[in-house]
Structure 1
Amino acid sequence: MPLPPLVAPVAALPADERERTQRHAVLRGFGEESQRRLAAAHVAIVGAGGLGSPAVLALAAAGVGILTVIDDDAVDLPNLQRQVLHRLADVGAPKVDSAVRAAAELSPHTVVRAVRERLYAGNADALLSGADLVIDGSDTFATRAVVAAACERLGVPLVWGVVQEFHAQVTVFWSRPPAGREPVVLADLHPPDQAGEAPSCAAVGVLGALTMQVGSLLAAEAVKLITGVGEPLLGRVLLIDALQGRTTDVPLHSASAAAS
């Protein structure tokens, strides 16, 4: 069942933005009003790496009004195998600078707020406050836990994905969803007493094309939540096996609800 739109629309789009996004306007069930909701939206993206890169590109192209991109890292040559936001000329430069450049080249009405800071427990609420939703593209479970905890406190939806080797998971967590929908949080998928740090992609590798697929799915989930179009992955986990070419989704319920 679709959820109510997360964001109220702006009154009108500039003429050049209406023309640039006209393929959205003719989508059945989407139309100009949904595009105006995207223009009013503020999405925070944690990480400008393998997952954050395609998410930034897709959401800027979609016409999201504000993107806050949080990453303290610089571009390294091995990043270019999967982090499509960056170019050879960016090696050594801050990753957030690539987000500013790429978004401006795609969507002149999208504002990128580049935050070159490492997100941690002490600053997470401040960095994510004001966003309508958060996309987590970070690369350690410790950071993911911090992002999830901040989103739970702020009550904003968290669009979440993880990729390792040839496999991926995508879902939506939301501690305070609309009435009638069950809250689901990170601990329901990865209980704290069971979640260990997964091997890094430097150790086990990651299929670059899969990060692009998953990052695009994260952006699509954000668009659905913002506009109220379609059924988001709240209460479901999408599982991707790129090696076998298979995708499945499984239900995800609140552990607290199940216990009661």
Structure 2
Amino acid sequence: MLTDKEFIRYQRQIMLPEIAEVGQKSLIESSVLIIGCGGLGCAVAMQLAGAGVGKLVLCDDDVLEESNLHRQLSYRESDLGQPKSEALAKHVRQLNSMVSVRSVNRRMKFDSLMLEASMADLVVDCTDNFATRQQINKACLAKKTPLVSGAAIGWDGQLVYFDYQDNGPCYHCLYPFTEDSEGGKCSESGVMGPNVNMIASLQSMYAIQALVKPEMIQAGQLMVFDGRTLTQHKFDIAKDDACNICKKGSKS
């Protein structure tokens, strides 16, 4: 049962039939690993903390710069120069003291990713490069930990959820390479701040659904958002039978 304090705090969310008290209890008892505390990750962390996810682990090896502030709205000017994971953990605690939050101020090696993924109910990939995304996918596949992956650049964004069940596709089936394309980062191509927060909000929606009612989401489906026209499209991801990541995982 929820405490009186929990019920009062989350009552507007509890009123939703898809959540109710049972769903809210599930959120409170859940642990989410957020990798990347930039534009996507800082918004996801605050939204999940607001929703009452009980434990958040925030991982990033970067420090906050002034050029981040136009889109990374969870931070303040007073945070400049601080490690993002630590500054974000501070703001999460200020928003919701009932949430347990741990910061990891380093770039995790694969063994660490495997360990953190094994302890999480869900991983949210908010990173900005293919090499890290592929490592996260590999770790989540090995541990069968569901993954919400998002990306935003310019006016465009995308979102995908993998549950690694029923021999479905993985991230490597969608993008079978590890190198970033030229101009594939905000510092090279620019980015619209609200677009980043749009994708982060969709990641948070997926995360909450995955923790409460995963049947609400279709796994292995890519959502593509066009910020210029404010339209979105969905595409089913075909499993690559030659994928050297999930093909190996299905045999283990």
Contact 1:59–1:219 (CA under 8 A) maintained in structure 2:
yes
- Secondary structure, in 3 states, of the residue corresponding to 2:225? strand
Q: Decide which of 182, 185, 188 is 1:200's aligned counterpart.
A: 185
Q: Does 1:144 align with 2:129?
A: no
Q: Decide which of 161, 167, 173 is 1:172's aligned counterpart.
A: 161
CA distance in 2, matches of 1:15, 1:189: 45
Instruction: Choose 113-122 or 226-235, whichever is displaced more.
Output: 226-235
Unpaired segments ≥5 residues, structure 1: 1-11
Deviation, structure 1 residue 74: 0.8
Corresponding position of 2:143: 154
What is the root-mean-square deviation of aligned Cα atoms in Å? 1.8
Unpaired segments ≥5 residues, structure 2: 244-252
Contact 1:51–1:212 (CA under 8 A) maintained in structure 2:
yes
Mark the CA change 1:22 to 1:229 in structure 2 (over 3 Å): closer, same or farther: farther
Q: Does 1:232 align with 2:217?
A: yes
Instruction: Choose 85-94 or 105-114, whichever is displaced more.
Output: 105-114
CA distance in 2, matches of 1:256, 1:36: 39
Mark the CA change 1:233 to 1:74 in structure 2 (over 3 Å): closer, same or farther: farther
Higher relative contact order (CA 8 A, sep 6+): 1
CA distance in 2, matches of 1:229, 1:185: 17
Fraction of identical pairs, as percent: 29
Q: Does 1:87 align with 2:76?
A: yes
Q: Decide which of 19, 23, 41 is 1:52's aligned counterpart.
A: 41
CA distance in 1, matches of 2:215, 2:73: 27
Deviation, structure 1 residue 236: 1.1
CA distance in 1, matches of 2:18, 2:212: 10
Corresponding position of 2:247: none
Q: Which has the higher helix share?
A: 2
Q: Deviations over 1:193-250 (max 9, x none)?
A: xx53132210101111111111111111111111116621412111100011111111
Output the amino acid matched with 1:228.
K
**TM-score, normalising length from structure 2?**
0.91
Contact 1:72–1:94 (CA under 8 A) maintained in structure 2:
yes
Count, aligned residues: 242
- Secondary structure, in 3 states, of the residue corresponding to 2:110? coil
Contact 2:117–2:145 (CA under 8 A) maintained in structure 1:
no
Corresponding position of 1:26: 15
CA distance in 2, matches of 1:122, 1:27: 39
- Secondary structure, in 3 states, of the residue corresponding to 1:33? helix
Mark the CA change 1:222 to 1:88 in structure 2 (over 3 Å): closer, same or farther: same
Q: Deviations over 1:139-159 (max 9, x none)?
A: 111111111111111111110
Q: Deviations over 1:91-133 (max 9, x none)?
A: 0011112222221222221111111111232422123330001
CA distance in 1, matches of 2:39, 2:234: 22
Corresponding position of 2:230: 245
Output the amino acid matched with 1:15.
D
Q: Which runs of 4+ in 1 moved over 6 A?
A: none
Q: Deviations over 1:136-186 (max 9, x none)?
A: 0011111111111111111111100111111111001232x2xxx442201
Q: Deviations over 1:7-29 (max 9, x none)?
A: xxxxx222111101001111123
Contact 2:153–2:196 (CA under 8 A) maintained in structure 1:
no
CA distance in 2, matches of 1:182, 1:128: 19
**TM-score, normalising length from structure 1?**
0.88
CA distance in 2, matches of 1:140, 1:235: 20
